[in-house]
């Protein structure tokens, strides 16, 4: 049996093919009574519009690009879940582009700045240069940032300075004064991720507000991995005056810190308090005290922003700042209770 065509729907509804096309594409220039007749015919005939034909009729690709660095990291996976929830309910598909080098980033920005490839860009954690933003605008490609900011683009950011401050203050309020901070690379990274700097600034500010001198040997940087964090923690805990608490830039690094403590037979939280950042799913199972950032929501809000920008390209850029929250579990405890 031949598949149902748009002409079959038009005949069934007693309208022209153009009217059916306008209903499918949600064109408001159709009377409600006519729209209902067409929708009834579509349902009765079980008509499914051809994606290719629809894209041609709209003059769009119906595809957006999602560009993210190191996208297998747990925090990005959680953001992808959020954006997928929005795109799955839309007519848009999305394609992921993994970026692990400056060359790859520049290639993606250059190649995707063409209206015949995608209808929009959702960029995670990467701040495009001004000339790249102009290229997007000249090509008519809406772009939205998640976990990064640019004044000319809509963006969703986390208040990482507040998060770093509150994580450190949590440890200070427990009576700790020797507080170390393990972070991803701040300035050595070619991407210069702003959250790395903001969480460090929050750490320093909390120490200063509490009158605790900053000790450079307590701030260590390294690749965002459990193994590297474990080695960093071992070095910290073997200092002549080791820290009694460690704030890790990410839950992934906090897991490395916990492993180091086990290897050195240092009890957590009795002898060492540990707080992470992100609140990825496994953090709850490991009973990790952490800073929850709304990863899922950041992806969801970013995706909705992009759909809005595609439908209204002249709209003023919007900013959404998502809060953080301390999630207390079993890896932090008052300093006075330690042996």
Give which of 336, 339, 219 is closest to 267, Cα–Cα. 339
pLDDT at 56: 47
Give me 318's structure tokens: 């919007």
| CB environment 57-81: b (16+ within 10 A), e (fewer) | beebbbebbbbbbebebbbbebbbe
140 CB burial (10 A radius; 0-12, 13-18, 19+): exposed
pLDDT at 23: 81
- Cα gap 73→206, rounded to integer Å: 28
CA dihedral 330, 332, 337, 339 (to 10 degrees): 100
Structure confidence by residue, pLDDT tens digits, 182-193: 999 887 677 878
pLDDT at 7: 84
pLDDT at 3: 74
- CATH code of the domain occupying 6-58: 1.10.260.40
Low-confidence ranges of the chain (pLDDT < 70): 1-2, 49-59, 115, 188, 337-339
265 CB burial (10 A radius; 0-12, 13-18, 19+): exposed
Q: Which fold has domain 63-156+295-322?
A: Rossmann fold (3.40.50)
pTM: 0.80
Same topology between domain 63-156+295-322 and domain 160-294+326-337: yes
**DSSP structure class, residue 311:** H
pLDDT at 92: 86
Give me the residue spans of the domains in the chain.
6-58, 63-156+295-322, 160-294+326-337
pLDDT at 186: 86
Q: What is the 3-state secondary structure (H, E, C) of 2-53?
A: CCCCHHHHHHHHCCCHHHHHHHHCCCCCCCHHHHHHHHHHHHHHCCCCCHHH
What is the CATH class of 160-294+326-337? Answer: alpha beta
State the chain's mean pLDDT as an integer. Answer: 91
pLDDT at 75: 92
1 CB burial (10 A radius; 0-12, 13-18, 19+): exposed
The residues, ordered by sequence, that sit 6+ positions from 229 with a Cβ below 8 Å of its Cβ are 182, 222, 248, 252, 253, 254, 255, 256, 257, 260
């Amino acid at each position: 049996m031949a598949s149902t065509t748009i002409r079959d729907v038009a005949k069934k509804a007693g309208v022209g093919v153009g009217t059916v096309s306008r209903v499918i594409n949600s064109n408001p220039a159709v009377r409600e009574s006519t729209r209902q007749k067409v929708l009834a015919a579509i349902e009765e005939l079980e008509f499914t519009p051809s994606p290719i034909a629809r894209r041609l009729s709209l003059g769009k690709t119906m595809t957006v690009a999602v560009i993210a660095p190191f996208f297998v990291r747990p925090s990005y996976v959680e953001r992808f879940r959020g954006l997928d929830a929005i795109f799955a309910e839309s007519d848009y598909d999305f394609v992921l582009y993994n970026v692990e080098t400056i060359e790859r980033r520049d290639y993606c920005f250059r190649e995707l700045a063409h209206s015949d490839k995608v209808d929009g860009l959702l960029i995670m954690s990467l701040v495009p240069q001004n000339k790249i933003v102009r290229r997007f605008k000249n090509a008519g490609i809406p772009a939205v940032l998640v976990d990064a900011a640019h004044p000319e683009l809509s963006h969703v950011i986390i208040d990482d300075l507040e998060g770093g401050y509150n994580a450190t203050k949590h440890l200070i309020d427990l009576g700790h004064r020797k507080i170390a901070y393990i972070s991803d690379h701040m300035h050595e990274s070619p991407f210069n991720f702003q959250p790395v700097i903001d969480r460090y600034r929050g750490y320093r500010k909390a120490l200063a507000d509490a009158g605790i001198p900053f000790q450079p040997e307590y701030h260590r940087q390294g690749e965002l991995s459990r193994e590297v964090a474990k080695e960093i923690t071992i070095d910290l805990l073997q200092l002549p005056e080791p820290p009694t608490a460690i704030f890790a830039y990410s839950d992934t690094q906090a897991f490395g810190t916990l492993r180091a403590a086990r290897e050195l037979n240092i009890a957590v939280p009795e002898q060492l308090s540990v707080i992470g950042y992100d609140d990825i799913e496994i953090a709850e199972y490991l009973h990790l005290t952490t800073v929850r950032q709304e990863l899922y929501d950041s992806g969801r809000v970013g995706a909705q922003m992009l759909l809005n920008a595609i439908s209204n390209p002249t709209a003023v850029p919007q900013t959404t700042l998502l809060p953080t929250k301390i999630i207390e579990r079993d890896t932090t405890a008052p300093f006075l209770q330690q042996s």
